[in-house]
Each structure stands twice: as structure tokens, then as C-alpha cells.
Amino acid sequence: MTQTSVSADGRAAAAQDIERLRRTVEALEREVARVIVGQELVIRGVTIALIAGGHVLLEGLPGLGKTLLVRTIARALHLQYSRIQFTPDLMPADILGTNLLLETSHGGRAFQFQPGPIFANLVLADEINRATPKTQSALLEAMQEQAVTIGTVGHPLPLPFFVLATQNPIELEGTYPLPEAELDRFFFKLNVGFPTRAELTAIVDRTTGPRSDPPAAVADGANVMELQELAREIPIATHVADYAVRLVLASHPELPEAAETARRNVRFGASPRAAQTMILASKIHAVLAGRVNVAFDDVRRVALPALRHRLILSYEAEAKGTTPDRVVAELLSAVPEQG
């Protein structure tokens, strides 16, 4: 077989793999849409994060279907699902698990690890900002390393592993802001908006009428991990990746590459994880749009959910009512595609 035919076969196999990724995502979103009305951008954002192997922070008012969305995705992907209700009295051991002194079969006693609810494929951290910073920080190792350490012993988490956390943006009493280090571990932050009149009517009809069938499983954990590896193999041109890098550099007010909006409004810019997020997410966004080449527009489309929670605004900007979303929009306007 000639080198040309081998490379042709390789391109054909790659095209088939990419088409399989796109079909799987379409099937997943179709099943989710049978349960969730509207919220197409949120569903697409969660899907991109899952294929990228990242965690998601969902922010929105109560009753908008955030918990239902996570549970529906778990069913459609046939993943082990766990829900943790975060409260001020929740302790790290309530999440991670603990060592218990139990009797052995020989009549003696020995410590045995009892895993907590974090040991699942898809973990819903409901109202995560209600827990104390000590308890919130218990998720850091799990989110980054897919493992937890109890005492001196490490325990790997089941793979794939995702944390989808929710928080209520309006209640301040009895809540604790998420530490910056933990926010940075979230691949995307997605805002769940209030439904339109037509969507609200459809929600009422769907939830007060006859019960519909649960979503069908379109993939499983092994398929998801295969798609994750495939997503990383999607090529991206150097100048497009450089655009994502320059967006991150422009968010740092102390750097010479800083945009004017960063100098005026930002105290701390986005971390290197923001550039990693935008590049990986833009690869998946391009494939789902039916392209194998990543464009500048793909980076722009994923910049807001990748950056909004990684920018720490100055006190003056917050006092003026400036939002991270506005700063991200100004960054996208200020940074040229070709640098």
C-alpha cells in the first residue's frame, strides 16, 4: 500500500470519528430537549464541557431546571449519578467519605474506607455556594486530579468524572463566594436565563400533563472517554490558538499586552487554564458546526463562558456596576484576530 493510500485511509478514518462525535452529541441534545424546554446555549455549553472532560458551574434562579438538566444528561449518557445538597453544616467527609473502624471476618477490627457521594461519574453539587470555604475546597483535588486523599491514602474516582455545580445568584445571606482556585477548575460558567413566554407555556404543558418517557441512553462512559480523546486530536491552526492566548494576556492589567478595559476594570486576569479551555472548546464547537477547521469565530463563541468566572474585577469596577460579561465583550472587541 502506498503512502498516499495510507494517508487517505487515515483521513477517512478521522472523518468517520469526527462524524461519530457529531452524531453522538446531536443524539444527546435531542434526548435532553425532550425533557428541557429551551436553554439551547446552556445545553450546548454543558455538552462541549463534557466532551472536553471539564466541569461546569451553572448559575440561575431557582426552578429553571438546572438539576433536571444534570439528571437528564446522566440518564442519556448512562452515567452513575450522584447529588450533593450543599448546606452550611456540610463537612468534607460528607462529600469525600471517611475511614470507619469495622469488625473484620476474623473477629478483629480494622479501618475501612467508606466512599462518599463524590464517587460517581456525574456529580451534581447543588447550591455549592451554601457550603463553607473549607467544604468547598474539598472538591479541589477531585476536580483537578480525579482522585481524593483521605489521611495519607489516595482513592481514584470513577472515570469519566464530571462536577456540575449550581448556585443561586440572588441570595447572599448564608452563602460563601467560591474561592478563586475552585472557580478556575470549572471549564465553563453558564448563566441559565428565564424562559420566554412560549417556553414557559411549553414547560407548564410538559410538566402538568401526562408523564413522558425518560430519555434514552445514547452513549456510555466508555464512549464519552473515547470522544474526549478524539476531541483533543482535532487540529487547530497556530494563528487561531495564538488568538486565544492573546485574549488571556489582554485580560491582565499589569502586562504590556493588556487591553484598556483590563487596566480600568480588572484586578486579576484569567489563568492559563482559560487559554486551554478556549482552545479545546473551540475545537469541539467547530466539529459540532460541521467543520474540521477551527476558526476565530469558534474561539469568540466560547470565550464568554470560559472567561467570565476567571476575571477578578477591581472594587471600583464592581462599584460602577461593571460585569465580567461586559469586560469579556470589550476584550473581544479590543484584541485583533491577527496579532
- Residue whose C-alpha is closest to residue 57's, from 294, 305, 224: 305
Residue 98 has pLDDT above 90, yes or no: no
Q: Does 156 share its domain with 291? A: no
The predicted model gives 193-200 an average pLDDT of: 84
Q: Does 338 share its domain with 220? A: no
Q: Does 30 share its domain with 62? A: yes
Q: Which of 194, 229, 264 is the last residue of a domain?
A: 229
Residue 5 has pLDDT above 50, yes or no: no
Percent helix, strand and coil across the chain, each rounded to 5?
50, 15, 35
Residues above pLDDT 70, as percent of the chain: 94
Residue 102 has pLDDT above 80, yes or no: no
Q: DSSP character for 124?
A: E
Q: Does 289 share its domain with 150? A: no
- Residues sharing a CB contact under 8 Å with residue 111, sequence separation 6 or more, in sequence order: 99, 100, 101, 102
Q: Does 143 share its domain with 284? A: no
- Residue whose C-alpha is closest to residue 298's, from 256, 336, 253, 244: 244
pTM value > 0.95: no
Q: Which of 208, 229, 250 is the last residue of a domain?
A: 229
Contact at 8 Å (CB) between 148 and 40? no
User: Measuring CA to CA, how many Å separate 185 from each of 48, 120, 123, 179?
Assistant: 15, 18, 15, 10
Q: Does 17 share its domain with 157? A: yes
| Mean predicted lDDT score pLDDT of the chain | 86
The pLDDT of residue 110: 73
Q: What is the CATH number of the domain that holds 280?
A: 1.10.8.80
Could you tell me if residue 6 is inside a domain?
no
Contact at 8 Å (CB) between 115 and 156? no
118-136 confidence digits (pLDDT tens) = 999 999 998 888 888 888 8
Q: How far apart are CA 135 and CA 144, in angstroms?
A: 16
The pLDDT of residue 198: 87
The predicted model gives 237-265 an average pLDDT of: 94
Q: Does 244 share its domain with 266? A: yes
Q: Quick one: cell of 268?
A: 486579576
- Residues sharing a CB contact under 8 Å with residue 125, sequence separation 6 or more, in sequence order: 84, 86, 139, 163, 164, 165, 166
The pLDDT of residue 325: 94
Q: Does 225 share its domain with 194? A: yes
Q: Which of 173, 203, 229 is the last residue of a domain?
A: 229
38-65 confidence digits (pLDDT tens) = 788 888 999 999 999 999 999 887 777 7
Domain count for the chain, please give it.
Answer: 2
Could you tell me if residue 5 is inside a domain?
no
Q: Does 314 share its domain with 252? A: yes
Contact at 8 Å (CB) between 51 and 228? yes
Lowest mean pLDDT among 160-164, 195-199, 330-334: 195-199
Which comes out higher in pLDDT, residue 289 or 243? 243
The pLDDT of residue 284: 93
Q: E strands of 71-108, at which residues?
A: 81-85, 97-103
Could you tell me if residue 168 is inside a domain?
yes
The predicted model gives 316-322 an average pLDDT of: 90
Residue 6 has pLDDT above 50, yes or no: no
Residues above pLDDT 90, as percent of the chain: 38
Q: In what order do the strands lie in the sheet with 186-192?
A: 81-85, 122-126, 162-167, 55-60, 186-192
The pLDDT of residue 260: 93
Print the domain residue range for 287: 234-339
